[in-house]
Structure 1
Amino acid sequence: MKKYQVVGIGNAMVDVLAQASEAFLEEAGVKKGIMQLIDMERAVDLYGRIGPAREISGGSAANTIAAIAHLGGRTAYVGKVRDDQLGAIFAHDLRAQGAGYDTPMAPKDSPQETGRCIVLVTPDGERSMNTYLGVTEFLSPSDIDEAQMAEAEWIYLEGYRFDGPESHEAFAKAIAACKRGGGHVSLTLSDPFCVERHRDAFRRMIREDVDLLFANRAEILSMYQTADFDEALARAAAEVRVVACTESEKGAHILADGERWHVPAVPTQIKDATGAGDLFAGAFLWGLAEGQDLPTSGRMGCVAASEVISHIGARPEADLRALFAAQGLG
């Protein structure tokens, strides 16, 4: 048995969550419903303009790993923070969930601070993310522990991580070590604008290295440059062994070995859509690692996504395993 079921690699962030009106987004020049990269000056300015906020450790892949740890999975995370207040919060929160986290911190005198994402949540539950990557942008191959990757049944790669200057090299090192150890590679596309920036690199990795692809409807349409959802799914399934694609309130579509399953969403009152895809991926991977079949893992993913959008914040607050049991899962 390997030490880890899943090891995630991503942007280590602290989320700053605040409610905002549509008018505020327009006035502040924030594009609704997407992630946009901002610099430190913009981060400070925007933080000064928002209302009351809640700071929660986040980052897409870190949320996924926190969900797996919450479920009792053997898991660890790789992502860069600085030795500062937010960095300490991030490390404490992840370890408190039960995940391993040993990425070396950048020193206190580093010119970049720990990254943060200012998440503005409109009354419809949609989130608009304004991300200052900070020191996490500079995750390098030297931060990848090959022995750790070889001890993973799965590695989980965050698409947002493609924006760093040495990201591709770091991913390549992790993939090679994982594959040498007999492990499998999963990738999440993260955001349609991220796909636009790195489509060629994504496609190359999907064709050559990825065993399981996570995406939502907008991301997979962007990846395959088509308006036909079924066509995009089919093209993805021709390139990768398993595709798990979410479609908001319509649930998720799982494709593998020439078969396709639709998994219905679990109805809930949406308070904050942040983390829905992250929790879907976490529960799905945990299900697979625990020996569940693809449709059951997909149902677990939809239950976890429903839980996380029912409250503010991108990490589970209810007992996911109890929720699975209530749905006859696991």
Structure 2
Amino acid sequence: MPEFDVLAIGNAIVDILARCDDQFLDDNGIIKGAMNLIDAERAELLYSRMGPAVEASGGSAGNTAAGVAGFGGKAAYFGKVARDQLGEIFQHDIRAQGVYYETRPEGNHPPTARSMIFVTPDGERSMNTYLGACVDLGPEDVEPAVVAGARVTYFEGYLWDPPRAKEAILESARIAHENGREVSMTLSDPFCVDRYRAEFLDLMRSGTVDIVFANKQEALSLYETEDFDLALRKISEDCKLAAVTLSEEGAIIVRGDERVKVDAYVVEELVDTTGAGDLFAAGFLYGYTQGRSLEDCGKLGCLAAHICIQQIGPRPMESLKESAERKGLI
């Protein structure tokens, strides 16, 4: 049986990143700071209006898998691409990061998913995503031996948009739990929480999901409250373990009655927040699967996010492992 620290399951997306100002967002009807699902026609329109752009394999869970590998962990990934140029870019990039990735690509229609990410001067990212081939991910793409051999299977809340992906997630969770493993999810986006609040809560309360990642806004949205302490109390009741990120205030980790607050690292220059939450999850899960304390897990997550937001794109250009070693974290 293969052994992995983390198996990540998500929408296999190629990110296309460009800088813009807030007026560009207004002129093009883009919701700032959110992930907006778009169709093929709008994808072509926005692409035609973009300035100089950088292309790199992305997708929330893909970023997390690459981050785990960057720390020196053993990572695997399930996600669907097409047999096209962007699909080849995605496959090459994620494998080059040291991630096991063998999901079989489909034809060339629909094409590989892409996300036009507009980064404003304040570092905020506004994502406009055409899911394309992502929607073809299904239970037939689950590799049982990989799930059974992964300490934690992690999936993104965005996967609740394509319907057959739900079947793949539930099948993976069944296999993971039958083999004494754990299942984790990220809430992904407040708008995603609004769409699937009841289903996300059911995943947590039924024990299908053991570990939840969220930012403050997503946690508040999940429980439809403005009282953050109430949201923390409820999320600690609904799942075994939760990590809630607080931007420049760091993160708070809750497990039953236990609360662990971890400070963020000082940022010299905020460049791009794309993937910050994904990299926090990568650092946290790397530490968690190595048996580290919750405080150390939080510190590793904050370090990864810290590195991520000081560059363009979600895949750190400096070594996460070496950075963590310099901080005495591994």
Task: Measure the CA separation in 2 of the matches of 1:140 and 1:329.
Answer: 38
Amino acid at match of 1:14: V
**Superposition pairs of residues 142-291 of structure 1, within 5 angstroms:** 142-208=140-206, 209-268=208-267, 269-291=269-291
How many angstroms apart in 2 are the aligned matches of 1:254 and 1:213? 10
> What are the Cα deviations for residues 118-153 of structure 1, in whole angstroms up to 9, with x where unaligned?
000000000000000001022111111122211111
The CA deviation at 1:325 is 2.5
8 Å contact from structure 2 (residues 2, 145) kept in 1: no
Hey, what's the Cα distance between the residues in 2 that align with 1:17 and 1:284?
A: 26
- What is the total number of aligned residue pairs between the two structures? 328
SS at 2:57 equivalent? strand
- Provide TM-score, normalisation by structure 1: 0.98
What residue identity is the alignment partner of 1:218? Q
| Aligned CA-pair RMSD | 1.0
For residues 168 and 319 of structure 1, the distance between their equivalents in structure 2, rounded to whole angstroms, comes to: 34
Cα 1:324–1:180 shift into 2, 3 Å: same
Matched residue, 1:119: 117
Alignment check: 8 A CA contact 1:9 1:156 kept: yes
Tell me whether 1:316 sits opposite 2:316 in the alignment: yes
- How far does residue 328 in structure 1 lie from its aligned partner after superposition? 2.5
What SS class does the counterpart of residue 163 from structure 2 fall into? coil
Preserved CA contact (<8 Å) 1:17 1:54: yes
Give 1:318 deviation, angstroms. Answer: 1.2
After TM superposition, give the deviation of residue 32 of structure 1 in Å. 0.4
Write the distance in 2 (CA, Å) between the matches of 1:321 and 1:144.
29
The Cα shift of 1:329 comes to 1.4
1:51 counterpart residue number: 51
After TM superposition, where is structure 1 displaced by more than 2 Å over at least 4 residues in a row? 325-328
Pairwise CA distance, 1:44: 0.3
> What is the rounded CA distance, in whole Å, between the counterparts of 2:293 and 2:317 in structure 1?
26
Q: Post-superposition shift, 1:2?
A: 6.0
- Percent identical among aligned pairs is 48
> Which digits, 9 at most, give the CA deviation of each residue in 1:281-303, with x for residues without a partner?
00100011112111111011001
1:172 alignment partner, SS class: helix
**Is residue 85 of structure 2 the alignment partner of residue 85 of structure 1?**
yes
In structure 2, the partner of 1:94 is: 94
User: How far apart in 2 are the matches of 1:165 and 1:242?
Assistant: 27
Aligned partners of 1:7, 1:227: CA distance in 2, in Å?
Answer: 33
Query: What amino acid is the match of 2:126?
Result: S
Residue segments in structure 2 that go unaligned for 5+ positions in a row:
none
Match in the other structure for 1:328: 328
Match of 2:74 in 1: 74
Does structure 2 conserve the Cα–Cα contact (< 8 Å) formed by 1:224 and 1:232?
Answer: yes
Q: Distance in 1 between matches of 2:40 and 2:329?
A: 44
Q: Could you tell me whether the CA contact under 8 Å between 1:78 and 1:144 is conserved in 2?
A: yes
Is the contact between residue 104 and residue 143 of structure 1 (CA under 8 Å) also seen in structure 2?
yes
Cα distance in 2 between the residues matched to 1:75 and 1:326: 23
Structure 1, gaps ≥5 residues long: none
- In structure 2, C-alpha distance between the alignment counterparts of 1:174 and 1:77, rounded to whole Å: 12
SS of corresponding position for 2:277? helix
Q: 1: distance between equivalents of 2:2 and 2:76?
A: 12
Counterpart residue type for residue 281 of structure 1: A
Listed one character per residue, the Cα deviations across residues 37-76 of structure 1 (whole Å, up to 9, x for unaligned) are 0000000000000100000110000000001111111110
In structure 2, C-alpha distance between the alignment counterparts of 1:282 and 1:317, rounded to whole Å = 15
Residue 258 of structure 2 aligns with an amino acid whose one-letter code is E
TM-score normalised to the size of structure 2? Answer: 0.98
Q: Deviations over 1:195-241 (max 9, x none)?
A: 11111111111112111110000111111111011110110000111
Q: Distance in 2 between matches of 1:98 and 1:322?
A: 16
Q: CA deviation at 1:166?
A: 1.1
Q: Is the 8 A contact 1:2 1:153 kept in 2?
A: no
Query: 1:257 Cα shift?
Result: 3.2
